[in-house]
Structure 1
Amino acid sequence: MNNDLLPPQDPPAPRRRRKEARPQELLDAALDLFVEKGFAATRAEEVAARAGVSKGTLYLYYPSKEELLKAVVRQNVASKIAEGMALVDCFEGSASELLALVLRGWWERIGETKASGILKLMMAEVGNFPDLAQFYLREVIEPSHALLQRVLRMGVERGEFRATDPEYTVHALVAPMLFVSMQMHSIGPCMGTERQIDPCRFVEVQIDLMLRGLRGDAPPLTLSACSPPACA
């Protein structure tokens, strides 16, 4: 058969997918290395090598290591907060149910994933990078606190929650969740099986305590079952 008569063919699909997948591969590699080594100790060429590309290719997508970290945070943390905001917009149940759903959702989407290591990285290193500190404040801390304050105000307006200081109630909600996440990436693995905290049980106890405190004389909360494989 004369090959000149054959119609031109598109490039193989795997090659197209490979090029389209590069930004995600770079973000995955960066997340792994930032969590393993820290931001300051991670070199751009290490991220490129782990993603299987050249350093020049990395800079085509992310012009600096700072921009790479921002992209990692946006994808793995900030986007999940935006999902929480969308949930609040359309949720039709009680404020108690919504608060429990938001906290569980945070744990499932961030706390028990590799993204939880970003929290430790930010607390440990961001003080040395003022621009990154302002970025994290603007795109993670402020939106997440606004989300939780919105749920608290909803509960007060509906008569479900007693009036509290919304700003400091949010701090009380967030701090224990950050604690268990930080422990997972620090002393937790060294504590031995018998002394390790079960993160899912911890989250359920936190939800129970907060809702009882917010609702005053409310009856005991029925705790949600936690799937052990998801917390392994």
Structure 2
Amino acid sequence: MHQLVEHHSRKAARILDSARELVLDHGAAKVTVSEISRAAGVGKGTVYLYWPSKEDLIRGLFARDLFTILETGIARVTTDPATVQPRHLATLLLRTTHRLPLAQRLQRGDADLLRILMQDAGDRDLFARTQPAAMCRQVMPILRRHGLIRHDRPLPDQVYALHAVLTGFFAAVSAPASAPPADDPYTVLADTVALLLEPSGPPAEAALAAAADQTLAVLRETRDAILDYIDRSQSPDR
């Protein structure tokens, strides 16, 4: 697995942790660099040493969440190619995203966070590639080519359906009090996706291996783009 190497000191790590807590508590729009520096126990100029603006810092935080999601997926598919079956990929995505608070905020429609992520055209394109709808569009054609998704419906309809299911389950898991109870929501999600998309018979080992290899190529390419963004955004020489 890649390691997310920090190019800076423990001070910068404290800045990242403090910024995350403040953004989660107050929202991206209300947090200031002064508040972040006070919480981290550093001078305001130290924050600017590593990130030119508050927005750059917040985008760096979100990129780290994306890196974690992608690295987790890569590790799981590498270890077990059967993870590329739609039921397993869907539950993996939901479980991983649900553990990352900034990703949760974006999925719940945080307009201020979305605005910050979409400010720059280059950043906008990169972050758009990592959204669940975009990942569905990239990965599902691979799965369908190798027989892991049925051919009885048009692929765009299947992509739309899976995205809708993931959106609904994410909302239910994030706000359990507003949803009917379930003993294990992730098992319910896996069963739902299997009924929605998967063929009745088990996939062949060769099909799983080929689909896993091609899916890993997509995930690694996106992971590497995110890692390059993090490296560039946190450089003191920027």
Counterpart CA distance in 2 for 1:134 and 1:79 is: 23
| Aligned length in residues | 194
2:105 pairs with 81, 98, 118, which one?
118
Q: For residue 190 of structure 2, what is the aligned residue in structure 1?
A: 207
Q: For residue 161 of structure 2, what is the aligned residue in structure 1?
A: 172
2:89 pairs with 102, 113, 130, which one?
102
**Larger Cα-atom Rg:** 1
Counterpart CA distance in 2 for 1:132 and 1:54 is: 27
Q: How far apart are 1:58 and its partner, in Å? A: 0.9
C-alpha distance 172-101 of structure 1, shift in aligned 2 (>3 A): same
Residue 201 of structure 1 aligns with an amino acid whose one-letter code is: D
| CA contact 1:95–1:152 (8 Å) conserved in 2 | no
Q: How far apart are 1:209 and its partner, in Å? A: 1.0
Q: How far apart are 1:150 and its partner, in Å? A: 4.5
1:27-176 alignment, distance < 5 Å? 27-81=16-70, 83-84=72-73, 88=77, 92-93=81-82, 95-96=84-85, 99-120=86-107, 123-126=110-113, 128-129=115-116, 131-132=118-119, 137-144=124-131, 145-163=133-151, 164-176=153-165
Q: How far apart are 1:91 and its partner, in Å? A: 5.2
Counterpart CA distance in 2 for 1:149 and 1:95 is: 14
- Identity among equivalent pairs (%): 20
Gaps of 5+ in 2: 1-7, 203-238
Q: For residue 26 of structure 1, what is the aligned residue in structure 2?
A: 15
C-alpha distance 86-130 of structure 1, shift in aligned 2 (>3 A): closer
C-alpha distance 125-133 of structure 1, shift in aligned 2 (>3 A): farther
Tell which deviates more after alignment, 130-139 or 203-212: 130-139
Q: Alpha-carbon deviations, 1:117-165, whole Å to 9, x = none?
A: 4315754225655843856652333234454344422332232321344
TM-score of the superposition, structure 2-length normalised? 0.63
TM-score of the superposition, structure 1-length normalised? 0.64
Counterpart CA distance in 2 for 1:133 and 1:122 is: 19
Q: Alpha-carbon deviations, 1:7-64, whole Å to 9, x = none?
A: xxxxxxxxxxxx7222222222222221221111111111122222121111111110
| CA contact 2:66–2:130 (8 Å) conserved in 1 | no
Q: Alpha-carbon deviations, 1:190-232, whole Å to 9, x = none?
A: x4xxx6666883332222111112125469xxxxxxxxxxxxx
C-alpha distance 34-21 of structure 1, shift in aligned 2 (>3 A): same
Residue 102 of structure 2 aligns with an amino acid whose one-letter code is: A
Counterpart CA distance in 1 for 2:164 and 2:50 is: 35
Q: Which has the higher contact order (CA 8 A, sep 6+)?
A: 2
C-alpha distance 90-112 of structure 1, shift in aligned 2 (>3 A): closer
Q: For residue 217 of structure 2, what is the aligned residue in structure 1?
A: none
Gaps of 5+ in 1: 1-18, 220-232
User: Could you say what secondary structure the match of 1:211 adopts?
Assistant: helix
